[in-house]
Structure 1
């Protein structure tokens, strides 16, 4: 007999992460729609700033849901300690993405910043979020042999 424990796929932290993942995706999509809309539209910068603020709050909640003492990563590592390095990578990404979003928020709230630069930086944040979400989904799959959510 091997020393592995059976993986429980109905774990509370996994259920919470699934619900949160769907909500975070909606906030990402709303920000993406705002940043992709025509720069010349009245209120463009304000919409971008508002959607980014909402996204930042959702991402902060994502960090709590995943990194908290009772979070997904703690539970995942209890069942699959072999994934420690990948969890640490995701935690580092959390910090980097949060800093990038904070910097982008300052830029969005600064009237003198160029809208084209704001859009370009917003695209970089969206790409980082996309990569992070995929790595997180892959990690959960590898740990639990289940899909965290098939939304695209």
Structure 2
């Protein structure tokens, strides 16, 4: 059976304004991670790099969740994607919590630099997995089903 892919949602085809460059924000965070913790101002630099990541991720959540978000459009056209959408929404909560925990921990002088670096690496892995799962879900939504006939 051959079926057509679902229509690409409006939130993908026509974003009214440029979205924050989360990739650039992550590059800054990676650079902060690569800086030796003994460098003067290392923690302050890390705090400065976390703000744009938090804002970019909040914007990502705003564009994907809610009644007019990408996920609502996907589910309207392809209810079969419900499980994947729920997983991504759950990841939003976990990632936002990880960002907040890291922002709190970096301000505490008693938290060792190696622990902070571990938290940053964990956050970067979570963001990378989330990006890949989102891309996989979009691919599944828009690819044509070319299954055989029975």
Q: TM-score, normalised by structure 1?
A: 0.84
Select the structure that is richer in helix: 1
Instruction: Return 5+ residue gaps in structure 2 as ranges.
Output: 145-150
- The answer to whether structure 1 residue 86 and structure 2 residue 75 are counterparts is no
| Structure 2 CA distance for aligned equivalents of residues 104 and 85 of structure 1 | 29
Instruction: Return 5+ residue gaps in structure 1 as ranges.
Output: 147-152
SS in 2 for 1:64: helix
**CA 1:97/1:111 → structure 2, altered by over 3 Å: closer, same or farther?**
same
**Alignment partner, residue 73 of structure 1:** 71
The question of whether the paired residues in 2 share the 8 Å contact of 1:31 and 1:52 is answered with yes
Selected match of 1:55 from 53, 56, 78 = 53
Residues 21-59 of structure 1 show CA distances to partners (whole Å, capped at 9, x for unaligned) of: x71121112111112211122211111111112101111
- Which structure is larger by alpha-carbon Rg, 1 or 2? 2
The question of whether the paired residues in 2 share the 8 Å contact of 1:7 and 1:144 is answered with yes
Residues 104-123 of structure 1 show CA distances to partners (whole Å, capped at 9, x for unaligned) of: 11011112221111001110
| Structure 2 CA distance for aligned equivalents of residues 35 and 120 of structure 1 | 9
Q: CA deviation at 1:5?
A: 7.2
- The answer to whether structure 1 residue 8 and structure 2 residue 23 are counterparts is no
- Equivalent pairs, count: 141
**Alignment partner, residue 28 of structure 2:** 30
Q: Which of the pair has the greater relative contact order for Cα pairs under 8 Å at 6+ separation? A: 2
The question of whether the paired residues in 2 share the 8 Å contact of 1:5 and 1:79 is answered with no
**Alignment partner, residue 100 of structure 1:** 98
Q: TM-score, normalised by structure 2?
A: 0.85
CA root-mean-square deviation: 2.1
4+ long deviations beyond 2 Å: 4-9
